Amino acid sequence: MSAVKNYLSLVKFSHTIFALPFAFIGFVLGVRAQWMAQLPVEHFFLKFFLVLVCMVSARSTAMAFNRYLDRHFDKLNPRTAIREIPAGIIKAEKALVFIFINMAVFVLSSFFINSICFYLSPVALFVILFYSYTKRFTYLCHLVLGIGLSLAPIGAYLAVTGSFAILPLLFSFAVVFWVSGFDIIYALQDIDFDKSQSLYSIPSYWGLHKALSIARVLHVFSASFVIAAYFIGGFHFVYLMGLLVFVGMLLYQNSIVKPNDLTKVNIAFMTANGIASIVFSFFVIASMVIELMSANNNFIHFN
C-alpha cells in the first residue's frame, strides 16, 4: 500500500479535481448532443468508464513525466526537494516504467472508445508531454499546460459523439485560460529559483506585479467563455448557480494573493480552484440532466 501511496503522491492524484469535472461536462454534453440529434448513446456505461480511465492515465503520464524530467531541478529547489524522485522514494527508472504503462493504458482505452479518439491519442500525448519541456525555452509554458488540461472536455465529447462542436470547445477555452491563470499564481513561489536556473515562467520573466495582472486577465477570458457557453448552449438556469461560484472563486483567488504576500498561494491554487471546478461542473451537469429528464425521452441504450 505504501508503494501505491507513493505513486499517487508522485502524480498528485488529488489535483485530478481540476480537469476531471470538465471531462464529465464534456461527456454529458455529448449525451445531450446525441439526444438533440435523436441518436442513441451506445454502450453508455462502458464509454463513461473508458473516458475515466483515459483521463486518469493521461494525467498520470503527464505528471509523472514532468516529475521525471524535472528531477534534477527539483533536487535543487528547497520547496520540491522532498518530492518522490529527488528524495529517492521512487527511483527515476521506475517512474519511467510507470509513465510507459500509463501511456499504453491511455492509447488502449482510446482504441476501445472510437476511431477518432484512437487516432488523436498520440496528439494528446504529445501535447501533455511537450509541456514538461516548455519551461526551458518559453515563458508561455503556463498556456501550454492549460491547453493540455483543456483536452478533457472536448476529448470526452468526442468519445460520445465522434465529432467536434462549438460548445465543448468553449469549455475547453475556458479551461485553457483558467488553468494558465492559476498556474501563474502557483509559479510565484519559484520566481527566484527559476531565475537562478534560467527557467522560463511569466513571474520570472515579467515580475510579481505584472504576473498577477496577467493571471487576472486570463481569468477574465476564462469567465467570458463559460458565460458565452451559457447563452450559446441554451442551458437550464441552474447553470447560473455554478457560474456564480466559478467566477466567485476566480475573484477570490486573485484577491488573496498579493505581490507582498504569497502566503495564501496554496489556498488559491488548491482550495479555490478545487471548489470552482467541482461546484461548477455539478451545476452544469445538473442543468443538462434536468433538461434531459424533463424531455422524458429514452435516448440511451444501456448495453
**DSSP code at position 80:** T
Look-up: residue for cell 494525467?
A: 59
Distances 130 to 26, 29, 55, 166, 228 between C-alpha atoms, Å: 24, 28, 17, 26, 30
**DSSP code at position 15:** G
Which one-letter amino acid corresponds to residue 29? L
Which one-letter amino acid corresponds to residue 244? L
* Nearest in space to 127 (alpha carbons), one of 111, 108, 143, 110: 143
Residue 97, Cβ neighbours under 10 Å: how many?
11
Contact in structure between 65 and 129 (CB atoms under 8 Å): yes
Is 301 contained in some domain? no
Cell numbers standing for residue 286: 445538473
Is 58 contained in some domain? yes
* Nearest in space to 154 (alpha carbons), one of 20, 26, 24: 26
Is 1 contained in some domain? no
For 203-250, the DSSP string reads HHHH-HHHHHHHHHHHHHHHHHHHHHHHHHHT--TTHHHHHHHHHHHH
Is 169 contained in some domain? yes
Is 42 contained in some domain? yes
* Segments in the chain below pLDDT 70: 1, 296-303
pLDDT at position 195, please?
95
pLDDT at position 42, please?
81
Is 237 contained in some domain? yes
Contact in structure between 168 and 23 (CB atoms under 8 Å): no
**DSSP code at position 44:** H
Q: Is 83 helix (H, G, I), strand (E, B) or coil?
A: coil
Cell numbers standing for residue 284: 452544469
Which one-letter amino acid corresponds to residue 186? Y
Domain span including residue 108: 16-295
pLDDT at position 296, please?
58
Look-up: residue for cell 488573496?
A: 256
Cell numbers standing for residue 302: 444501456
Residue 179, Cβ neighbours under 10 Å: how many?
25
Is 282 contained in some domain? yes
pTM (whole model) above 0.85: yes
Contact in structure between 281 and 300 (CB atoms under 8 Å): no
Is 96 contained in some domain? yes
Cell numbers standing for residue 195: 531565475
Cell numbers standing for residue 228: 458565452
**CATH number of the domain where residue 97 is located:** 1.10.357.140
Rg from Cα positions in the chain: 20
What gap in Å lies between CA 43 and CA 58, rounded to an integer? 22
Q: Tell me how many domains the chain contains.
A: 1
What gap in Å lies between CA 2 and CA 6, rounded to an integer? 6
Distances 92 to 31, 70, 85, 279 between C-alpha atoms, Å: 41, 11, 6, 37
* Nearest in space to 262 (alpha carbons), one of 206, 223, 209: 209
pLDDT at position 12, please?
80
Contact in structure between 252 and 200 (CB atoms under 8 Å): no
